[in-house]
Amino acid sequence: MATYTNEERMGHVRTNVELEPGEQCALCRCFKSGKFPFCDGMHRQLPGELGPVIVKAAEPKPTPPPS
């Protein structure tokens, strides 16, 4: 399950999102989500065509057998 932490860096809040391999999540871009930084669909109630950012963590590539 996607998790996040906030940290302060040089006077600004930085949000770090961690995903498991193959996991995806929708990140809010309207700043109105009740689950921020994750999208809860609130953008649908706002004017415009703004939607979430979809982020997917890559699956690890298989390690080739030793030669």
Per-domain boundaries in the chain: 19-57
DSSP tag of 38: B
Q: 26 near 38, Cβ under 8 Å?
A: yes
Q: pLDDT by residue (tens digit) across 14-63?
A: 999 999 999 999 999 999 999 999 999 999 999 999 999 999 999 988 88
Give the CATH H-level superfamily of domain 19-57. Answer: CDGSH iron-sulfur domain, mitoNEET-type (3.40.5.90)
Q: 18 near 2, Cβ under 8 Å?
A: yes
Look up the pTM and report it: 0.79
Distance between CA atoms of 3 and 10, rounded to whole angstroms?
A: 23
